[in-house]
Chain A
Amino acid sequence: AQSVAQPEDQVNVAEGNPLTVKCTYSVSGNPYLFWYVQYPNRGLQFLLKYITGDNLVKGSYGFEAEFNKSQTSFHLKKPSALVSDSALYFCAVRAVEYGNKLVFGAGTILRVKS
């Protein structure tokens, strides 16, 4: 099974509407979970991470993510999407079983239309 799965290649949402970008993971133990965003021809920008503690993590640019251990999910959310949020989003996991290296999902393109 994929260690990190982003089941949607693309998510389309209207500006002002809430958005969700899905991520599930399949590693043992207590992994660290991350979300990054990538704009065209640029590197990755860190959005947020879950290490321990509150399941709801707040990050940059109004994004948040909810860690759900029973569902092994870490979906990225934002209450009100902006056109400027349109980008490629990567979920990543860091776990002992992967040598503490970041393992990335395939990425999800988010398109926000005005």
Chain B
Amino acid sequence: GAVVSQHPSRVICKSGTSVKIECRSLDFQATTMFWYRQFPKQSLMLMATSNEGSKATYEQGVEKDKFLINHASLTLSTLTVTSAHPEDSSFYICSAREEGDTEAFFGQGTRLTVV
């Protein structure tokens, strides 16, 4: 299957700082990318959907100014958690889908810990 690389796999940051997470499609053009958040022992919660070259569409209850998403190219999307707080600590997962494809492929996930 297609490969999606997410970096970093783990990050620890201080409260109040910003953290950027990258999601890259390595062998296909990701016209659409998705960002999820997963709490321990829970399912994935979709945060936002981004299409290359346009603004991301955020799910209800997700603060767009706090979770900045950029999808500037067909192989890269970034999620920046701004002014991070301990409650932002979570497992963040991206996925990518090529136009016309039926399934999305997932990155390895990023464990964010805010101290």
A-to-B contact residues, CB < 8 Å: 32, 34, 36, 41-46, 49, 51, 90, 94, 101-102, 104-107
Indicate if the CB atoms of B34 and A101 lie closer than 8 Å: yes
Q: Is the CB of B43 within 8 A of A44?
A: no
Interface SS of chain A: helix, strand, loop or mixed? strand
**CB-CB < 8 A to A94: which residues of B?**
102
Identify which of A41, A43, A46, A104 contacts B43 (C-beta below 8 A). Answer: A104
**Inter-chain contact count A-B, CB under 8 Å?**
47
List 15 A–B pairs whose Cβ atoms lie within 8 Å, in order of A's numbering: A32-B102, A32-B103, A43-B93, A43-B106, A43-B109, A46-B1, A46-B106, A49-B102, A49-B103, A90-B43, A101-B49, A102-B34, A102-B46, A102-B104, A106-B42
What size tier do the contact residues of chain B reach? 20 to 34
Q: In this assembly, does B58 line the interface, its C-beta being within 8 Å of a C-beta of chain A? A: no
Given the known interface contacts A51-B102, A101-B34, the answer about A43 and B108 at a Cβ–Cβ threshold of 8 Å is yes
